[in-house]
Amino acid sequence: MTTHEHDVTIVGAGTAGCYAAATMAHEGYDVVIVERKDEDEAGHIACGDALKGASNFPESIPRSQIEPAFTNTDVDHGRFEIPAEDTVLEIPIPGELAVIDRWEYGRRLIEGATDAGAELHYDTVVKDVVQDDDGRVTGLTAVRKGDPVEYESELVIDAAGSLSLLQDKADLDDATFDTNVQYSQFCSAYREIVEVDEPVEWDDALVFKPTERAAGYLWYFPRTSTEINVGLGFQMNEEPMELVESLKRDLRNRPEFDGATVEDKLGAALPTRRPYDSAVAPGFMAVGDAAGHVNPTTGGGIAGAAYAGQYAGEQAIEAIEDDDVSESKLWRYNERVMDHYGSRYAALDVYNIFSTAYDVDDLMAMLAALPVKPLSEALYSGSAEVGLLLKLKTAIKSFGHWGTIYDLYQTKSLADELLDHYESYPSSPAQFDAWRKRRDELMDDIYAVTGAEPKY
């Protein structure tokens, strides 16, 4: 068996993996990315292609390197189609938006990581995680181009995406690492890249539409005015949907897609859950989708994954310099994720939980009744200011749905309380159990108000 020795082994050449690799390689560290796909297919990932926060990415892979993959930078709002109410909501989305060519973006990420000095091993399928007698992760075993190989490293970074095999193989029970991961916290998704003959009228918007059941939505994201990323997803704890047929059925009812051609199709499992409580263990860190670093109301996670990669890379450098890859030494990575976006995503997860407990028609009617500005704030920041006047206007407009509205306002208060709690995330593993105990108490209150089945 061939053995490869590196300072750090990263599994997965996606956004988080490439930014982690570039961050360390720029500082002279010996980094390898192992990627299961071949060189031609690497970077080809099922994604909605929408990118929020396009103006602000880590510098380890310069924006100028990935910017050619930004195919539509004119999108500035969400368009929520609610057929049951015969309503379309135009909701502003704060921050810079772009729709990208995800495959081209993926190739440029890999190029950025290798330009920085990282090594790429394609056609490499991980088989197991290697740990020492104390439980510290020391490497991996894999098959590369049909031959068994082993990787020995000071640190392993899991950037292998949703439902990562590494977390199944590693024994993490004695670490703080979040092992409360199950299928109900994920979304099954399918998307196609479709070319239409004439420019669509909504090429400046991200289009959302409910599926036939709650906890799912269709999307139409314009890469250009004639090339559209179309897809749908549903929570895995719901009754299964025929994803392809459901999407085709909606496409057939949209005149702008008459005669359209399909350029590409792909499916995936995507996390729609809060960030991992802790994404570190001795010798081990998880980043991006592998650590639940997504907005659980939309599934979007590109920008968060980039910063997770940077933070993990910087913490890896510090740990190796101090010859200490313990949980305590890696803990600062958790703190930085929670401080940057993890707290907000945890609060947004409350609204995802809320949506699973109500009939889709009730939810859409309520959505149509809510004021646009607070709705935009709630969807993207995890909280919103709703004054008395807006409450009165909403109450009048939403006659017949007051029960659902009242439950939402109660849920909002609990989401705000949860956000406050996450903003006091512990500064070391020593306070972790007490912090998590209080968080779980808040979650029990959320389940009681919403009537939703426990998600965690």
Q: How confident is the model at residue 365 (pLDDT cuts 50, 70, 90)?
A: low
pLDDT greater than 60 at residue 385? no
Claim to verify: residue 262 and residue 325 sit in the same structural domain:
no
User: What pLDDT is stored for residue 399 in this prediction?
Assistant: 42
Q: What is the mean pLDDT of residues 111-120?
A: 98
193-197, 324-328, 449-453: least confident range? 449-453
Listed residues 229, 254, 271: the one ending a domain? 271
Q: Which of 106-110, 397-401, 424-428 has the lowest mean pLDDT?
A: 397-401
The whole-number pLDDT of residue 354 equals 85
pLDDT tens profile 171-185: 999 999 999 998 889
The reported pTM is 0.91
Calpha distance 161→269 (Å, rounded)? 9
pLDDT in the model for residue 391: 47
Contacts of 221 (CB under 8 A, 6+ apart): 48, 49, 50, 75, 99, 206, 207, 228, 229, 230
Alpha-carbon gap, residue 202 to 11, rounded angstroms: 38
pLDDT score recorded for residue 357? 77
Give the percent of the chain with pLDDT over 70: 88
76 inside domain:
no
**CATH code of the domain containing 235:** 3.30.9.10
Q: What is the pLDDT of residue 215?
A: 62
Domain boundary among 341, 372, 395: 341
Q: Has residue 382 got a pLDDT over 60?
A: no
Is 420 found in the same domain as 358?
yes
Phi, psi for 269 (deg, rounded to 5): -100, 135
Separation of alpha carbons 229 and 211, rounded Å = 17
Burial of 356 (0-12, 13-18, 19+ CB in 10 A): middle
173 shares its domain with 245: no
User: What angle is formed at CA 225 by the lines to CA 262 and CA 46, rounded to 5 degrees?
Assistant: 45
Rounded to whole angstroms, how far apart are CA atoms 90 and 293?
A: 27
**Same domain, yes or no: 354 and 416:** yes
Match 């299964």 to its residue by tokens: 240
For residue 21, being part of any structural domain is answered with yes
If one counts the domains in the chain, the total is 3
130 and 141 in contact (C-beta within 8 Å)?
Answer: yes
Q: Which domain holds residue 438?
A: 346-450
What is the average pLDDT across 372-389? 51
**In terms of domains, do 263 and 293 share one?**
no
The residues pairing with 235 across neighbouring beta strands, listed in sequence order, are 187
DSSP 58-105: -TTS-HHHHGGGEEE----EEEEEEGGGTEEEEEE--S-EEEE-HHHH
Predicted confidence at residue 361, as pLDDT, reads: 63
pLDDT tens digits, one per residue of 80-96: 888 877 888 888 887 78
Tell me what pLDDT residue 184 has: 82
Provide the CB-side half-sphere exposure for 382 (13 A, CA): 23
Give domain status of residue 77, yes or no. Answer: no
Question: Residue 379's pLDDT is what?
Answer: 54
DSSP line for 33-61: EE-SS-TTTTT------EEESTT---TTS
Q: Between vectors from CA 219 to CA 218 and to CA 225, what angle results, nearest 5°? A: 145
Residue 202 in any domain: the answer is yes
Residues 175, 323, single domain; the answer is: yes
- 280-294, 367-381, 442-456: lowest mean pLDDT where? 367-381
Residue 388 lies in a domain: yes
